[in-house]
Each structure stands twice: as C-alpha cells, then as structure tokens.
C-alpha cells in the first residue's frame, strides 16, 4: 500500500504537471489563436490597403498616361512653335529690312518735304506780291465789264431810238407812231425777267430795275447777281421804287 500510495502520489503529481502543461498549452493555443485572429485582421487590412494602393496605382498610372499624352502634345506644340518661331524670325528679318528701307525713304521724304516747304514759302511770298496786282487787275476787269455792259445798254438804247426814228419815217400816221411808242414804253416798264409784272425794284449796285418779286426770288435762291450785268448784290442792295 505504501508503494501503491507512493505511486498514486507520483501519478497525481505527474497528472498535475500534465494538467499544468495542458493549461500552458491551452494558454499558448489561445494566444496563438488571438495572434492568428490579429494576423488575419492585419492581413485583411493589408489586403484592403493593397487593393486601395492598387486602385491608386491604376489612377496614378492613368494620370501618368494622361500626363505623358499631354507632354507628347506639348512637345508637338513646342516643335510647331519652334517652326513658327523660325518663320517669325525670318519675317522679323524681312520686316527689319523693310523698316530700314522705309526709314531711308522717310528721310528722303522729309528732305523732299523741306525742299517743297521752302518752295511753297517762296511761292507764297511771290503770291503775296502778286495778289495786289491781281486784285487791281480783277477790279479793272470788273470795271471794264461794267462799262462794257453800260455801253451795250447805250447801244441798245440808241438802236431803239434809231428804230423809232425809222418808224417815224416809215409810218406817216401819228396814231401808229403813238401805238409803237406805247408798246415800247410798256416794254420798258415790264420786268425783263418774268415779262409779266411791272418794274418796282432797283439794284443799288448797278441801278438796273426789275420787279421786286424777281429780285427777292433770286436773293432767296442765292442767285445774288444782276440778271443783266451779273453785279453781285446783298440783302440791303435792292429797294422798291414807286413810278406812279
């Protein structure tokens, strides 16, 4: 019994050690399970991060592709601009040459303008010297024209007198002579412009007589010259006359 008891105690101690080891193994298994769960969670998070990073990589790749395309377009545009720049440089060179040519022409034109200005001043001086002579000549021509008109009127008056004398010699009857004279005086009293109204206005510049309506009509129509001698008249150069 002592041996059996001792064996039983040894068995119990061994069972206790086995239980202790079992508990330690359970704790270890539990810890491993916890670590495995944590590892699975971490693996899941890492997988999600990987997916997100993959999506970001795809987005970045598409952005890089777009940027590469943009860069390619910019390079093409740069080449086109370089070509345009070459053309612009050539055009600028041509324009510079044209500008130099225009500058030379401008200098020549300025010199020509100075010469023309000197000639113009000389001509103006000559013109100022000649103007008094021209004015005197114009006044003399106007006076001669006026005198010529007067002489023509005198000739017309003398012709009428001559015709009247001839009529006196032709017509023996005094009544016929009187009728002719009456017609002549009526013609003298009738306005030569309209041949209908009587003369009742005089131009004080040349003293020719017309009807007031014709004179005023010519003044309002800005035809302000005498119908007989072309003498100019103004607003205060014609007045009514009263023959009766």
pLDDT at position 175 over 80: no
**CATH number of the domain located at residue range(s) 191-243 in this protein:** 3.30.40.10
pLDDT band at 151 (very low <50, low <70, confident <90, very high): confident
Handedness of CA 112, 113, 114, 118 (dihedral sign): positive
What does the DSSP assignment read for 158-201? HHHHHHHHHHHHH---HHHHHHHHHHHHHHHHB-TTTSSSBP-E
**pLDDT tens, residue by residue, 49-100:** 999 998 999 999 999 999 999 999 999 999 999 989 988 999 999 999 999 9
């Amino acid at each position: 019994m002592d041996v059996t008891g001792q064996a039983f105690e040894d068995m119990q101690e061994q069972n206790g050690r086995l239980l202790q080891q079992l508990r330690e193994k359970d704790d270890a298994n539990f810890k491993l399970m916890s670590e495995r769960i944590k590892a699975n969670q971490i693996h899941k998070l890492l997988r999600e991060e990987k997916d997100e990073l993959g999506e970001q990589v795809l987005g970045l790749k598409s952005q890089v592709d777009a940027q590469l395309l943009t860069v390619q377009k910019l390079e093409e545009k740069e080449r086109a601009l370089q070509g345009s720049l070459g053309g612009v440089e050539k055009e600028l060179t041509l324009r510079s040459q044209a500008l130099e040519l225009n500058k030379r022409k401008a200098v020549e034109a300025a010199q020509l303008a100075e010469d023309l200005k000197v000639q113009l001043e000389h001509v103006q001086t000559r013109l100022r010297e000649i103007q008094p002579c021209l004015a005197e000549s114009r006044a003399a021509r106007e006076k001669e024209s006026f005198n010529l008109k007067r002489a023509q009127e005198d000739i017309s008056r003398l012709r009428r007198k001559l015709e009247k004398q001839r009529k006196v010699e032709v017509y023996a009857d005094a009544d016929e002579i009187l009728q002719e004279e009456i017609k002549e005086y009526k013609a003298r009293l009738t306005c030569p412009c309209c041949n209908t109204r009587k003369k009742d206005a005089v131009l004080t510049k040349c003293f020719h007589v017309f009807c007031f309506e014709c004179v005023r009509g010519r003044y309002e129509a800005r035809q302000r010259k005498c119908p007989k001698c072309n003498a100019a008249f103004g607003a205060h150069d014609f007045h009514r006359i009263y023959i009766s």
